[in-house]
Every structure is written in structure tokens, then in C-alpha cells.
Amino acid sequence: MYLSRLPLTTLKETPADAETVSHRLMLRAGLIRRLASGLYNWMPLGMRVLHKVQTIVREEMDRAGALELVMPSVQPAELWRESGRWEDYGPELLRMKDRHERDFCLGPTHEEVITDIARHELMSHRQLPVNYYQVQTKFRDEIRPRFGVMRAREFIMKDAYSFHLDEQSLLEGYELMRDAYRRVFDRLGLEYRIVQADSGAIGGSRSEEFLVLAATGEDAIAWCDADGFAANVEVVSIAASGNAAPDPSHERELVATPGVGTIAELARFLGTGADRCLKTLLVKGNETPAVALLLRGDHELNAIKAQNLHGVAAPLTMLRGAEVEAATGCEPGFLGPVELPVPMHVDHAAAELSDFVCGANRPDYHYTGVNWERDVDLPGVADLRTAVAGDPSPLGGGPLSVARGIEVGHIFQLGTKYSDAMDATVLDADGNKRSMHMGCYGIGVTRVVAAAIEQNHDEHGIIWPAAIAPFQVIVVPINPDRSEVVRETMAELHDRLSEAGLEVLVDDRAQRPGFKFADADLIGIPHRIVIAERGLKAGQVEYKGRSESDVTLVPVESIVDFLRSRA
């Protein structure tokens, strides 16, 4: 293709609202354009990348025996009422009415629709197992759409759903998908990890995520090489250290801490560490208006663990200013367990503190030298926090490492949650009705493109993994308007490379060489060939790989073989 035929507007400036590298580079390279919050147009150059990802995904799904279909984006509310999710799903579900005032939603996922298909199409155990998949647009009214297509409201997902007679068959189907996903991400050329995950609102039992490693990832994963453990930090359980709190050595003292309402400020003000302070968080209860969760100041509350605690309302809801005051009589920032009039849970690590600092339930005051049992009864102790590097692996192999990642795929064993709710049964060999066991498997196709860039770029732009580059080769003629031999060679290379099956982009625009080189680097084409009159006198063109710094001179007539040897 000739670049003069592809209206490509690359941006030299960094778009102001783009926080991540992939978002910036996708905008700058003209792969996507924003329509509204969380809504993006995929422009022709971006579409070529998206197609490649979709093709790899389809090929591996087909190879694993899955069957492609496509379901509507608009889904009737009745199905969601049957599964119970019309009530449960919350505001991410975009609901609407048609002209007859009937309720519909824009599908954030398709368990209900596929289960409806299955209960009509699948009657006998002889038809099982079966796996249906689609590559289709989803809509989720995300609370915080951000990072471009990484967390969009409308995005493309490959979703697959498998149906089985029993649990054993589901396990086999799940393993098959797990292998297919590994092949997909291997072929995409991405560095990833498979980790245990939370099943979340979708339900079911076992689930694993595929995460592309990247410093800007929204997820964090913990692993231990010694024992093979790997999980999203969200779901890592942390055992108590077994150490009792040391004996008290200080008296409790009331200290004025005017305006010092955060742990960081408090630690600085008192010249102590955040790990010596107690953090008191108030969340909504299901039997009382408030429940207090107590953690060490340097630890993060884990929402999944917290909302599973007795008395805590799910989904976890933090109480804010006025609600906190109503429940405790004190403003946030100065809370602590001493005489706090709400039920409490304390994290293991916080329960092991002695002589600690906490709020005095009085504005602008804290206590120092507080000790459990002596100054305040120890509440119920639980695992409340999110794991950090150095915490012990649940499998006992030693300390955990932690790195950030981007969730690009998620596989679940759903069991009979949807088939029970929606009466999706088949007859088994004995003629008995049995609920089908289900698995579901998603890949964020559009997110994969952003994740690939997040992992593969430099200060000049994108460095596409070969399998998903929009073009494999870019040909940059120097001043073609001034040299007939350059023009001829440009056309010749375009045809020869295309005939050889290479996807070639020829930058025939009337621009200065520096401008063209910058664009070639920005859009990240793996192989670059420069045609200059001087080189042609010796029958040569210049080759450079996108991530190489040196150029190689290559005879024009052997360019195809040369590129093939590099591919």
C-alpha cells in the first residue's frame, strides 16, 4: 500500500489526557480516535492490527474445536431476570427500553444469551461437549473508563462458552481452552503469566487470568518460583505469622494531632513509621450501619476478603464523611478502636502490633502507646489485607514476588449456575434430565492491542511484535519527487515485496526524510528499507530493523530473500 492513499495523521505532541504509553502512542500513531468517554473509533491502521489479533484468536479457537457464532449486542431483560443478574449486575449494565417500553440491555457479556441458545439447541448428552464462541462488541458502563481502549466502555471481546454433561468433561474443556489461550498469547509474542483469580460477579468456582506483564498494569500478581504459586494479589490469602504481639512497654497517651488526618501525615508528625500506626476504615454493614476494619497503616485493604466477612455488606462500600460521623460521632481521620461503638475486625498483622498509634475518636487527637487487651479488647482477627512482595507464599515455598500486569484473558469454570437458573438441561444416557456444566472464556481483543504496546515500545514509538504489526515492511524513498530512479525502485519494491507475500507500506508522501523516519518509528513497522539515489548507484538500499540502531546495505535484487531471513 502507498501511504499517500492512507490518510494517516500522526501527532507530534503528546495528547494531554492520555496517562499511559499505549494510550498516547495509539492516539499519536493514528490507530484510534476518541469519540466520547470510553468510546473509540478504530482507524484503518489500527484495524489492521486488530484483525491480526482476531485472526490468531479465531485460528486457535477453531483448532481447539470451538464453533463460531454471533449473538446480538442488545439483549432482552427477561433473560437477565431469569439468571438474577438484572438486579445483581449494577450500574455497569447499560439498560434501555424499546418503543414498546420493553426492557433491554447492551450486552456486557453473553452467559444468558448463550444459555438460552443451549437450552433450545442441546437436548441430549450425545451433543456434548460443545463450545461456542464469538468475537463481538461488548458494552460496560465502566465507572472509570481510562487508558484508551484498555478500559473502554465499548470494546471487542472474544467470548466462548462450553457445555458439558458433567464436571469431569468441564475440567477437560477448561484445560483445552487454557492450552488454546497459551497458544494465542505465545503467537501474539507477548510476555504473560497465568494466575489464579477471583470469579467476581460472574460466579462459579475455579478461574484463572492471563496477564501481560507491564509496569502500568491495573492488576498486580504475586508468585513464588520455589513452589510455583501464581495468583492475582486480590486472591492471595495471607496466613498469620504466628507471632504474638510483644508485651507493652509504653503507657497510652492522648496526643494532639491538629489537622493530621492521614497515615502518612501522622507518621511524619509523630516521627514514627506507618507500620506502627493503625488504620481504621469504616464500611457499610449488613446488620449494622457501619463495621470497622483495622489494618496496619502501611497495608492495603482487600475488598474481596473484606466483603466476605461476617456483618460486612457486599459489594464493599466505604463510608464517607457524614456517614462516618453519624456512626461514630467523629470525623474520618481520627478513628481508632478504643471505645469505638461499631463492630470491628482486625487484620492479623495489625493484631500483632504493640505500643501502636491510633485515632482517639476525637477530632485532632490520636493515642500513642496503645496495646491490645490492656487498652482495648482484641476484636475478631481475620485476613483483611492485600498481599505485598515478601509475604509468604500460601504454598509454603518462601516469600512472594509481586509485579504488575494487564488482564487480557480470563477463563472460568461456571458449573451449573446459569444452567440451573435458566433450566438448561440435557438427557443423560439413562434418560434423566441433568443441568449442563458450563465454562466461559474471554479475551479482551481490543485490550490486547494496547497491552502489546505497553510491553513493546521505546521513546520513538511502538515496536510491534511481528505477528500483529499492521505492515511488516515500510519502504521510505528519499525525495522521490526529485529522482526518477528512486521512484522506479520504490514502485518495483512495492510490487516485488507484495508478490512475495510481505505486507508493505511505501511512504511516497512529499515529506522530508526525517519526518518520514519519525513516522515509521512511531507506527512501529518491524522492517524499514530506505531508497536513496546514492545507494542505488551501487545497486543497494538501506535496511534497519525497528529496534536496531545500525543500518545494513542490501543489494536491491536480494531484498526479498534478505527480509525473509529476518522475518
Task: Using CB under 6 A, list all residues that contact ligand ATP.
Answer: 109, 140, 142, 151-152, 155, 157, 200, 407-410, 442, 444, 446-447
Residue 220 Cβ vs ligand ATP, minimum distance, rounded to whole Å: 12
Residue number, 446 or 489, with CB nearest to ligand ATP? 446
Residue 414 Cβ vs ligand ATP, minimum distance, rounded to whole Å: 12
Q: Which sign does the torsion angle of CA 485, 489, 490, 491 carry?
A: positive
Residue number, 185 or 372, with CB nearest to ligand ATP? 185
Q: Exposed/middle/buried for 373, CB within 10 Å: 0-12, 13-18, 19+? A: exposed
What gap in Å lies between CA 256 and CA 362, rounded to an integer?
10
Residue 36 Cβ vs ligand ATP, minimum distance, rounded to whole Å: 14
Residue number, 142 or 503, with CB nearest to ligand ATP? 142
DSSP 247-261: PP-S--EEEE-TT--
What gap in Å lies between CA 274 and CA 357, rounded to an integer?
9
What gap in Å lies between CA 32 and CA 51, rounded to an integer?
14
Residue 289 Cβ vs ligand ATP, minimum distance, rounded to whole Å: 29
Residue 300 Cβ vs ligand ATP, minimum distance, rounded to whole Å: 17
Contact 128, 169 (CB under 8 A): yes
Identify which of 468, 474, 466 has the alpha carbon closest to the alpha carbon of residue 448: 468
Residue number, 158 or 546, with CB nearest to ligand ATP? 158
Residue 184 Cβ vs ligand ATP, minimum distance, rounded to whole Å: 12
Residue number, 145 or 285, with CB nearest to ligand ATP? 145
Residue number, 412 or 464, with CB nearest to ligand ATP? 412
Identify which of 172, 183, 173 has the alpha carbon closest to the alpha carbon of residue 58: 183
∠ Cα 183 188 194 (to 5°): 55
What three-state secondary structure class fits 347?
A: strand
Residue number, 199 or 272, with CB nearest to ligand ATP? 199
Cell of 465: 511484535
Residue number, 142 or 323, with CB nearest to ligand ATP? 142
Residue number, 109 or 361, with CB nearest to ligand ATP? 109
Residue 530 Cβ vs ligand ATP, minimum distance, rounded to whole Å: 37
Contact 453, 460 (CB under 8 A): no
Q: Which sign does the torsion angle of CA 278, 280, 285, 287 carry?
A: positive
Q: At what angle do helices 167-188 and 44-63 cross, to 10 degrees?
A: 140
Residue number, 119 or 140, with CB nearest to ligand ATP? 140
Q: Which residue is nearest to ligand ATP (CB)?
A: 444
- Residue type at position 456: N
Residue 221 Cβ vs ligand ATP, minimum distance, rounded to whole Å: 13
What gap in Å lies between CA 415 and CA 411, rounded to an integer?
13
Residue number, 409 or 535, with CB nearest to ligand ATP? 409
> HEC string of 359-427?
ECCCCCEEEEEECECCCECCCEEECCECCCCCCECCCCCCECEEEEEEEEEEEEEEECHHHHHHCCEEE
Residue 92 Cβ vs ligand ATP, minimum distance, rounded to whole Å: 8
- Residue type at position 125: H
Count Cβ atoms below 10 Å from residue 57 Cβ, excluding itself: 24
Residue 208 Cβ vs ligand ATP, minimum distance, rounded to whole Å: 11
Residue number, 408 or 541, with CB nearest to ligand ATP? 408
Cβ partners under 8 Å of residue 192, min gap 6: 185, 210, 211, 212, 213, 405, 408
Q: At what angle do helices 559-566 and 484-499 cross, to 10 degrees?
A: 50
Cell of 249: 512497654
Contact 176, 65 (CB under 8 A): yes
Residue number, 267 or 301, with CB nearest to ligand ATP? 301
Residue 219 Cβ vs ligand ATP, minimum distance, rounded to whole Å: 7
Compute φ and ψ for 310, nearest 5 degrees.
-60, 130
Cβ partners under 8 Å of residue 366, min gap 6: 254, 255, 257, 260, 266, 270, 334, 336, 357, 358, 359, 360
Residue number, 142 or 331, with CB nearest to ligand ATP? 142
Residue 442 Cβ vs ligand ATP, minimum distance, rounded to whole Å: 3
Residue 494 Cβ vs ligand ATP, minimum distance, rounded to whole Å: 36
Residue 173 Cβ vs ligand ATP, minimum distance, rounded to whole Å: 17
